A = this chain, B = another copy of it.
Amino acid sequence: MPKTLPSRADYRFFLEIPTRWMDNDVYRHVNNVTYYSWFDTIVARFLLGSGAIDMRASPVVGVVVETMCRYHAPVAFPETVTAGLRVERLGNTSIRYGIAIFREQEEIASAEGHFVHVYVDRATLMRPTPLPEALRQAAAALVVDLTDGGRPGAD
């Protein structure tokens, strides 16, 4: 467990996501699975908004190789959450995003995790391929340095 929970200031790109009725499970809180639908939504919105990736036509495709989430406090429909995004590692063929979920008016994350994309060529969906330069530049703007006693991720 991280010593301190991340706050909004630790992220660089934000997206409001309203909860849906179905997101709640029998315990009247958003089910653990749903958080990951928010994670891949904010990553996709960042990618589309950056203009760096055309999901229909780009010669490379991001394949998800690892995701993780820690749940610190519950969230429930009908809340609107804010997802925060940062880049925790910008590799040659991969990007590790850090993502946090904030309740309205709250500075401290209710949940946080990561999402790792490896870029592969579209034809095989297998062969790792260097990040396109436009994507590298867009992602670089979200990089947060986690080494200075910061809040490390899971590994």
Binding site for B on A (CB under 8 A): 16-18, 20-22, 24-29, 31-33, 36-41, 43-45, 48, 55-56, 61, 63-72, 74, 77-78, 125, 154-155
Contact = CB atoms under 8 A, between A and B. Distances in A.
A40 B45 contact: no
A64 B44 CA distance: 25
Nearest to A65: B71
A32 B27 contact: no
Q: State the oligomeric state as a number of copies.
A: 4
B66 A66 contact: no
Contact of A36 (B32, B56, B70): B32
Contacts of A43: 21
Contacts of A31: 22, 40
A112 to B, nearest CB: 10
B44 A33 contact: no
Given A21-B37, A26-B24, A44-B77, A66 B65 contact: no
Contact of A27 (B16, B61, B154): B61
Given A26-B55, A70-B65, A70-B66, A40 B18 contact: no
Given A25-B22, A67-B69, A74 B33 contact: no
Contact of A41 (B21, B55, B56): B21
Given A44-B21, A48-B78, A68 B71 contact: no
Contact of A40 (B32, B39, B66): B32
